[in-house]
Amino acid sequence: MSLILVLGICRPKLRDYIDLMAMDMAGPYTLEDGLSFHMRRYGITPASNDAARIVQLLEAPGELEIDPVFQDRKDDVLRYLANRAPDLEQRLHQMRRSHDDTGPEPPDRTRQVGLTTTFDELVTAKNALGDGPTPHDPDGSRQQA
């Protein structure tokens, strides 16, 4: 059973829509870029129903549960995304016509923000420095003085 089910914690969907709007407005990538990245990552083609459904959900997300923190922003956020949906539909249409299945490669943001790709790389780096616990020495007690 997942931790979310056990604790009864669920992030309101409105926050996902707020994040999309914020990234589109202030980030280096547009919603069109995000759609292309998503399609490439999950192997979705422009002709698929999945791609069209993503755009439909931006235009008409359906009933969203009440978000006690951001409810006052709901109308503005949903209006913004609904107004952007035709641009995404146009991008899908262009990809269908040009046979461009997914668009550009998503950026490797893991390296840009200084994160390691795998846990093994993190452990190797810690071992090289000789500080901190490792999977085989969780409390760090085996470190040499």
What is the structure's pLDDT at 98?
85
Domain boundaries along the sequence of the chain: 11-107, 108-145
Of all residues in the chain, the percent with pLDDT exceeding 90 is: 49
DSSP letters for the chain: --HHHHHT----HHHHHHHHHHHHHHSSS-HHHHHHHHHHHHT--TTSHHHHHHHHHHH--------TTTGGGHHHHHHHHHHHHHHHHHHHHHHHHHT-SS-SPPP-HHHHTT--SSHHHHHHHHHHHT-S-BTTBTTSTT---
Q: Is the pLDDT of residue 130 over 60?
A: no
* 120/43: higher pLDDT: 43
What is the structure's pLDDT at 99?
66
Lowest mean pLDDT among 2-16, 30-44, 68-82: 2-16
The average confidence (pLDDT) of the chain is 77
The model's pLDDT over 58-88, given as tens digits with 9 standing for 90+, comes to: 999 999 999 999 999 999 999 999 999 999 9
What is the structure's pLDDT at 27?
84
Q: Is the pLDDT of residue 33 over 80?
A: yes
